[in-house]
């Protein structure tokens, strides 16, 4: 019941915020509106969580490490940016970004205080999961804090640089797909059919075109390639390749414990 309830309110919250991206939400009334929604929804889950008996440590870890942060990062994010925007000082020169840069320094200080946990999160470590992500551990919600902090950083970068995403993209190095074409085709199909992009509200053709432009690869015959893979003797070859990568990472993590 707990898992289903949390995923349900997560969808409800994200559906309510679909029009304006979170990290581009600068209007204080809209921020307050979303924060109020979060508070109301989070209250509905808190009692269930307090009374819930997990089946075992694995369920507990799954909940506090993976599932809960997907929703609670928004609480960290909106509570912080509400303070940032409601306390914007008067008397600054028009267009001044100094206040936002000062706020970015606070984000950096948060990173410095939690640098070990940021490493644990980013590197995908698992060796201390049985201690950190347990109901009786004080910092069990640390991943929500880290993910929310990353959103705050993105928000402040947008505040200091209001260019469109397409304009900012020009600042980044060009990326080229170096896998095989069939791997790219399978990946795009899985993202669409698995509802991993826009909750499934995207066509294979649109995402395939985006993928081609972003990673400089020609996938115009993607339909034939996908059908050829389905009808091949080993349609799960790419899946086995991904499985091997994850297994190697698991082995490396075990070696560190």
Q: For residue 200, what pLDDT is reported?
A: 81
Q: Are 119 and 47 in contact (CB under 8 A)?
A: no
In the numeric block, which tokens belong to residue 115?
């640098």
State the average pLDDT over residues 27-56: 94
The model's pLDDT over 15-26, given as tens digits with 9 standing for 90+, comes to 999 889 999 899
Distance CA 141, CA 132 (A): 9
Distance CA 38, CA 252 (A): 38
* Res. 170 pLDDT band, cuts 50 70 90: confident
Q: Are 19 and 84 in contact (CB under 8 A)?
A: no
Alpha helices in the chain (DSSP H): 2-16, 28-51, 57-61, 68-86, 98-113, 115-123, 129-132, 142-160, 165-169, 181-193, 204-215, 222-230, 237-256
More confident residue, 171 or 76: 76
End-to-end CA distance of the chain: 34
Number of Cβ within 10 Å of residue 81's Cβ equals 25
More confident residue, 85 or 254: 85
The model's pLDDT over 214-223, given as tens digits with 9 standing for 90+, comes to 898 999 889 9
Asked if residue 172 has pLDDT above 80, the reply is no
For the chain, what's the residue count? 257
Q: For residue 165, what pLDDT is reported?
A: 65
Match 């940021």 to its residue by tokens.
118
Q: Are 142 and 188 in contact (CB under 8 A)?
A: no
* Res. 196 pLDDT band, cuts 50 70 90: very high
Instruction: Phi first, then psi: give them for residue 162, nearest 5 degrees.
Output: -80, 15
- Could you tell me which residues come within 8 angstroms of residue 107 by beta carbon, excluding any fewer than 6 positions away? 149, 152, 153, 156
**What mean pLDDT, rounded, does the chain reach?**
91
The model's pLDDT over 131-163, given as tens digits with 9 standing for 90+, comes to 999 999 999 999 999 999 999 999 999 898 877
Up-side HSE of residue 88: CA atoms within 13 Å toward CB?
Answer: 17
Q: Are 43 and 52 in contact (CB under 8 A)?
A: no
Q: For residue 225, what pLDDT is reported?
A: 92
Asked if residue 61 has pLDDT above 90, the reply is yes
Asked if residue 102 has pLDDT above 90, the reply is yes
Distance CA 153, CA 19 (A): 21
Distance CA 60, CA 223 (A): 42
Match 């091997």 to its residue by tokens.
244
Estimate to the nearest angstrom the gap between the alpha carbon of 208 and the chain centroid: 22
Question: What SS3 state is found at 136?
Answer: coil
* Res. 167 pLDDT band, cuts 50 70 90: confident
Q: For residue 254, what pLDDT is reported?
A: 81
Predicted TM-score (pTM) of this structure: 0.67
* Res. 171 pLDDT band, cuts 50 70 90: confident
Asked if residue 183 has pLDDT above 90, the reply is yes
Distance CA 63, CA 61 (A): 5
* Res. 257 pLDDT band, cuts 50 70 90: low
């Amino acid at each position: 019941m707990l898992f289903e309830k949390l995923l349900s309110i997560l969808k409800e919250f994200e559906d309510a915020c679909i029009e304006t991206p979170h990290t581009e939400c600068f209007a204080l009334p809209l921020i307050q509106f979303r924060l109020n929604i979060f508070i109301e929804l989070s209250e509905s889950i808190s009692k269930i969580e307090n009374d819930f008996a997990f089946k075992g440590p694995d369920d507990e870890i799954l909940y506090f490490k993976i599932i809960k942060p997907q929703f609670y990062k928004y609480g960290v994010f909106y509570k912080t940016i509400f303070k940032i925007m409601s306390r914007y000082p008067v008397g600054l020169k028009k267009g001044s970004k100094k206040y936002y840069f000062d706020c970015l320094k606070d984000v950096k200080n948060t990173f410095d205080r939690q640098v070990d946990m940021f490493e644990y999160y980013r590197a995908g470590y698992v060796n201390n999961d049985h201690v950190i992500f347990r109901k009786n551990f004080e910092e069990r919600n640390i991943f929500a804090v880290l993910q929310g902090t990353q959103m705050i950083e993105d928000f402040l970068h947008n505040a200091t640089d209001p260019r469109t995403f397409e304009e900012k993209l020009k600042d980044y190095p060009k990326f080229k797909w170096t896998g095989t074409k069939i791997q790219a085709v399978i990946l795009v199909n899985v993202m669409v059919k698995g509802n991993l992009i826009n909750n499934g509200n995207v066509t294979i053709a649109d995402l395939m075109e985006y993928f081609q432009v972003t990673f400089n690869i020609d996938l115009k015959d993607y339909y034939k390639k996908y059908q050829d893979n389905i009808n091949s003797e080993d349609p799960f070859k790419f899946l086995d390749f991904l499985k091997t990568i994850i297994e190697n990472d698991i082995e490396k993590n075990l070696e560190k414990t």
